[in-house]
Structure formats: C-alpha cells, structure tokens
C-alpha cells in the first residue's frame, strides 16, 4: 500500500459513493463520499443509527460495501478479496467505544497481540510495546488485567494497541462514549498528541462539547447520508 496514487497526492483516504444495505433494505450507509488528507484530524458526527459504525466497518474492511470505492494511500481496498482483508487492517488502527480488549490477557499482552498475529518476533515486540506504553502513559500498569483498570485506562490500552503497528490512519468510533467529561478530555488530548506526531485520525462522536472545543473539519451523517461538511 505504498504507491499508485491517482487523485490529490496528499489524500490518504478517499471514499466514493459508498453504499451498505442490511437485509432486508436498511440503507445503513447511502452514497457517502469524502476524503481525508495525510496528517488530518477529522470528525464524523451523527445521531444514533446514522451509520457511523457501519462506515468505519467498511473503511477497515471488517465488512464489504455493496458498491463504491475506498482508496487508502491510493489503493482501492474494495478490490481486495475479503479473505485478505486482514492485510488492510494491519495498516490501520481502530478504536471502539467498548475498548475491545481481551480480558484474560494483561495490558502488555493485549498490545503485543496486534504484533503477534503478524509473526513479529518477541524481541521486536517488546521494544515497540514499551514505546507505545510510554505514549499512553501506562508503563506502570503493563501487568494489569483490563478489568482491573478504569474506563479511561482501558481506552488508552486500546489506543496503544491501535498505534503499535504505526497505522496509516487511526479510526476511532466514539472512543469517549463510555467516559465522563474529564476522562474524555484526557483521551482527546492524547489523540491530539498522536495527531501531532503525524498520524491521521478520523473520529466519530456525538459529543457536541468536544466538537465546539476542537473546531476541526466535521462530516455530518444523517440516516446513512452525508448531509453536511463543516469547515471551521
């Protein structure tokens, strides 16, 4: 996924006319198009059921679009067979509202797992995990189990796991949905720090307060359609 770009050279993500229908005829995503520049921090907002999660699942190839195209770094990932979708996910980081941590693995093991599935040797894993643990400031909790951590800490573990692969884009689906305002703000500051290091971030939220504070480009979804794009 490194070359062969056709549109603007700096667009790292381009979605074109994406459609996803759930049986029988629920159009969860209805002809959505947008692009994201390298190093950008973009918000996606919409009411519950607007299609944010579905959109992320399409972009990370956890699900296949009915039609439309998705270019990541110039490669149309909709043309990659679903069986090889894992190769796309290795280039991306995804963070969810419910953290998606493995309960029987420690903080360290949860993060290292993203590298283990790629057959990275232990020695290299240790170095990389130590690095991201420092970024999310959880080095002292490396041996803790996820369920003994606070919500904010668990989300930081999930972010560390998403970062450990040095992803092209970090997708965050309501990462602060389960957190109180102070913790949400902490997490957001962490995302901003990561963004400043050069990682592109696309984040879904319905936290109006955050949007007002950040004043970043915002894509508005309503019933599966893109109804507005706000540039501050």
Partner 1 sequence: MRFFIDLRRSLREAMVVFRRNGLVSLGCIVISTVALFSFSVILLMAVYVRFGTISIGDRLNVTAFLEATLTHEEVNTILVRIRHLPETKDAVYVSPEEALRELKSKFHDLEIDASPIPPSVRITPGDTAYVPVLIAQLTELEGVSSVTDITEAASNFFGIVQIGTILGIALLLIFFAGFLFIVSASTGISIYSFRREIEIMQLVGASRTFVQNPFIILGSLYGLIGALLSSLFLIPSYQRIDNFYHAFIAFDPIPLDEYNILSRIILLALLVGLATGWISAKQSVRRYLK
Ligand X SMILES: Nc1ncnc2c1ncn2[C@@H]1O[C@H](COP(=O)(O)OP(=O)(O)OP(=O)(O)O)[C@@H](O)[C@H]1O
Q: Which of 32, 58, 94, 187 binds partner 1 (CB under 8 A)?
A: 94
226 is an interface residue for ligand X by CB under 6 A = no
Residue 48 interacts with, from Mg ion, partner 1, ligand X, none (CB under 5-8 Å by kind): ligand X
- 42-101 residues in contact with Mg ion (CB under 5 A) are 53
Helix (H, G, I), strand (E, B) or coil at 190: helix
Is residue 59 part of the contact set for ligand X (CB under 6 A)?
Answer: no
Residue 70 or 125: which CB sits closer to ligand X? Answer: 70
**Burial, 36: exposed, middle or buried (Cβ in 10 Å; 0-12, 13-18, 19+)?**
buried
Question: Which is nearer to partner 1, 100 or 126 (by Cβ)?
Answer: 100
Would you say 43 and 36 are in contact if contact means Cβ atoms under 8 Å apart? no
Q: Is 68 in the site for ligand X (CB under 6 A)?
A: no
Nearer to partner 1, 83 or 127 (CB): 83
Q: Is the peptide bond before 64 cis (omega within 30 degrees of 0)?
A: no
CA distance 124 to 115: 9
Binding segment for ligand X among 45-53, 71-79, 118-126, 145-153 (CB under 6 A)? 45-53
CA distance 218 to 231: 7
Does the footprint of partner 1 cover residue 83 (CB under 8 A)? yes
Residue 139 burial (CB < 10 Å; 0-12/13-18/19+)?
Answer: middle
For the residues of 55-90, what is the DSSP string, one character each?
HHHHHTTSS--SEEEEEETTEEGGGS-GGGHHHHHT
Phi, psi of 73 (to 5 degrees): 55, 35
Residues within window 118-147 making contact with partner 1, judged by CB under 8 A: 118-119, 121-122
Which residues contribute to the site for ligand X (CB under 6 A)?
Answer: 22, 26, 28, 46, 48-54
Interface residues with partner 1 (CB under 8 A) are 60, 62, 83, 86-87, 89-90, 94, 100-102, 104, 113-114, 116-119, 121-122, 161, 165
Contact positions vs Mg ion (CB under 5 A): 53
């Amino acid at each position: 996924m490194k070359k062969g770009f056709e549109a603007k050279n700096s667009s790292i993500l381009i979605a074109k006319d994406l459609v996803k229908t759930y049986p029988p005829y629920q159009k969860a995503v209805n002809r959505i198009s947008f692009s994201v520049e390298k190093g950008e921090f973009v918000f996606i907002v919409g009411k519950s059921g607007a299609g944010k999660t579905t959109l992320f699942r399409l972009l990370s190839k956890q699900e296949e679009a009915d039609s439309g195209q998705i270019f990541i770094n110039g490669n149309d990932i909709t043309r990659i067979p679903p069986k090889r979708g894992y190769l796309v996910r290795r280039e991306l980081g995804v963070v969810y509202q419910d953290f998606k941590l493995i309960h029987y693995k420690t903080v360290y093991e949860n993060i290292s797992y993203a590298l283990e599935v790629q057959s990275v040797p232990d020695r290299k894993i240790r170095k990389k995990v130590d690095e991201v643990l420092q970024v999310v400031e959880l080095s002292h909790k490396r041996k803790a189990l996820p369920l003994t951590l606070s919500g904010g800490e668990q989300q930081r573990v999930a972010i560390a796991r998403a970062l450990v692969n040095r992803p092209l884009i970090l997708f965050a689906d309501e990462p602060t949905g389960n957190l109180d305002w102070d913790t949400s703000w902490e997490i957001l500051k962490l995302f901003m720090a990561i963004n400043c290091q050069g990682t592109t971030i696309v984040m879904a939220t319905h936290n109006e307060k955050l949007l007002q504070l950040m004043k970043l480009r915002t894509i508005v979804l309503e019933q599966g359609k893109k109804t507005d794009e706000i540039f501050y």
